[in-house]
Amino acid sequence: MRKFGLLLTVLCMTAVSGCGDRKEFVPITDVVPDAILEIRYYGTYNFVGERIDGYREPTAMLTREAAAALKAVSDELIAQGYRIKVFDAYRPQRAVDHFVRWAADVPDTLMKAYFYPDLDKSVLFDQEYIMAKSGHTRGSTVDLTLFDMAAERDVDMGGTFDWFGPESHPDFCGNPETGEYTGDNSKSPTGRSITPEQFENRMILRRAMLRHGFLPLESEWWHFTLADEPYKDTYFNYPVRQRD
């Protein structure tokens, strides 16, 4: 638990804002009307199994800069037959604190079968699946997937949002820098794999996001942060809702 204590110490030294600059945040659907929202932390289908603190409405917010960049992503993907589906965007610090409390409660494994079946919950801090700070709280990070307009269903990415494990890494079974599928599933503790089509689907999303100014995360295929995010050092705490 020493890493956990260190993270909390770092958090206490970082600027946290209750509501300042909220006017610079916008609902994603105000800027990207074609976006589909499936706000997992407003409901119960998430790794905790209950609504997360701070999610007052089933909506998604971003800084104006990030929302504008996401609109360019959406326009490109619509031309390819896809819509974007957003699982999470701005996340208040109170929600991150909720995750930390949940992770410390090791016996609570209600959703283990759905999100971390290959891991013991006690390792989530050490392996940094749960941390006391999140880039989402700065307002320019988004978690998303693709929706196939012709098939009228989510695109098969070979794994669910918020799956805790190496199967969620962009380099699982392939090289995200080249887009080459290798089939290398050696990092999976139970021999799980994804197909060439599933890997390519992840790359379609990744390429569009990178082309429009977002940076990927090495551990989550669905997670992207605007490279030129406007609030690099501020962690906001106002609730997720469209208007005050």
Active site residues: 220
Name the one residue in this structure whose structure tokens are 């942060």: 225
